[in-house]
Structure 1
Amino acid sequence: MRRQAEQDPATPGPVTADDLDQVVQLALTSLREAPATAWDGKAGSLEWDCWETVEHLADDLFAYAAQLGPRQPPLGDEVPFIWEPRRPGGPSNAIHANRAAGPAGLLQVLESSGALLIAMVRTTPPTTRAYHGFGISDPEGFAAMGVVETVVHTYDLAEGLGLEWTPPADVCARTLHRLFPDAPSGEEPWPTLLWATGRGELPGQERRTSWRWYGEPRG
């Protein structure tokens, strides 16, 4: 697995397909340590169980890849797949894993969805723009969105599954710079990203009860 060189978080570079590849593989390595009997428990503070949360994460990565897929990506709405829950209160997904395949199959679905987005970010011209509800974005922006979804939902899953999880600080720093221009500086990147997504505390900052990112390309 290729790794980015360490960068000064004060001057982060762009979020890349390699960054997304790295965090997806690190998440898979952690999640493979979970007991087979633990997947029906809640994922941290979410209302979904751990199985549903992995399906939701896989669905996010798939959806971002699909949004970049058309020769002329839509700028006014999402590509119109059907997203629907399988139970009241469950995540609205187009992607579902076959439960008969067990946790190994579930994680294979996650890895495949991640690979689709990684490939689209690598091959889509950087001038391409596509719709997202948090701002029309470019391939780097969709890579950064995929990083956020992966690292924070793996955090939720780690809480529910009893696992350790700390993603790379340099990737978190680049992602914060790309998507969260309102985040405070001077703190460690991973705790700041947890704060930015309503999952943690930062000194001198109120805990967020609602949040969003800003997908538009940075000038």
Structure 2
Amino acid sequence: MPQQPAAVPGEADPDRPGPVTADDLGLAVRLAVAALVRAPVSAWAARAGSLEWDCWETVEHLSDDLFAYAVQLGPARPPMDGEVPFVWRSLRPGGPANAVHADRAAGTAGLLQVLEACGALLVAMVRTTPPQVRAHHVFGAADPEGFAAMGIVETLVHTHDLAQGLGLDWDPPAGICARVLRRLFPDVPGDAAAPWPALLWATGRTALPGHPRLTDWRWYAAPAPERPRLPQR
């Protein structure tokens, strides 16, 4: 069984100060791949949790999310009114509309390599893009930290969906969850739960005591000084 990558010292501390970083994103992707590689080949056609996609399609969708966030930061003048115009298309009715599709002949090892590669693209863009840069996202114009945080949420939450379909355990570091909650979900009650269950609640995956499961949710991609102050849910 592959070993989990070693965590950065202090990584699981939910109170560690500081922004979301490229290191956080890189660790999230490595942990996801280390978990997913344990799944048997026969399981990948299963539906991914509450999603309408199977597990293979969900990894393609996650890879596509990471790729799309990376390319938003790529142009000399990042777009502020839409996405970089790649062609996104579904391979079947109801499937995810992606620019990224893995070659099925490469098997699940190839699929996870696609995920690693797309994650590495976003990590590199977050590391090298000046913090004052902004680029379009439907939930607010984001800086590199915001795109890192969005990539982490996509990775952690879709790996949760995949773990349900593949029969795997998945419990990501509390520190990363706490930092992306602070960065993207300012309206999540601070005392609702530990960071990981709170993130699952914020993304419509579960209920919490006193907080029903959300059927409509969003995050706030713009840096805090550039968005309105929001009431706590």
Common topology (TM > 0.5): yes
* Aligned: 1:195 with 2:201: yes
* Aligned: 1:217 with 2:223: yes
Q: How far off its partner does 1:206 sit?
A: 1.9
Q: List aligned pairs for 1:111-126, cutoff 5 A.
A: 111-126=116-131
2:3 is matched with none
The answer as to whether partners of 2:10 and 2:16 remain within 8 angstroms in 1 is no
The answer as to whether partners of 1:4 and 1:18 remain within 8 angstroms in 2 is no
* Aligned: 1:37 with 2:42: yes
Q: List aligned pairs for 1:62-211, cutoff 5 A.
A: 62-186=67-191, 187-211=193-217
Amino acid in structure 2 at the alignment position of 1:81: F
Structure 1: tracts of 5 or more residues without a match: none
Distance 2:103 2:16 in 1: 43
The answer as to whether partners of 2:12 and 2:176 remain within 8 angstroms in 1 is no
Q: Secondary structure of the equivalent of 1:101?
A: helix
Distance 2:48 2:13 in 1: 33
Question: Which moves more between the two structures, 167-176 or 12-21?
Answer: 12-21
**TM-score normalised by the chain length of structure 1:** 0.97
The answer as to whether partners of 2:16 and 2:175 remain within 8 angstroms in 1 is no
Q: How far off its partner does 1:98 sit?
A: 0.2
Distance 2:9 2:138 in 1: 29
Distance 2:11 2:41 in 1: 35
Q: Number of residue pairs matched?
A: 219
Distance 1:205 1:142 in 2: 27
After TM superposition, what 4+ stretches of structure 1 lie above 4 angstroms from structure 2? none
Amino acid in structure 1 at the alignment position of 2:69: Y
C-alpha RMSD of matched pairs (Å): 1.3
Q: Secondary structure of the equivalent of 2:64?
A: helix
Amino acid in structure 2 at the alignment position of 1:190: W
Candidates 44, 48, 59, aligned match of 1:54: 59
Amino acid in structure 2 at the alignment position of 1:192: A
Distance 2:148 2:46 in 1: 29
**TM-score normalised by the chain length of structure 2:** 0.91
Say if 1:69 and 1:158 are closer, same or farther in 2 by CA, change over 3 A.
same
The answer as to whether partners of 1:117 and 1:143 remain within 8 angstroms in 2 is yes
Amino acid in structure 2 at the alignment position of 1:144: A
State percent identity of aligned pairs.
Answer: 67
Distance 1:193 1:55 in 2: 22
Q: Secondary structure of the equivalent of 2:210?
A: coil
2:231 is matched with none
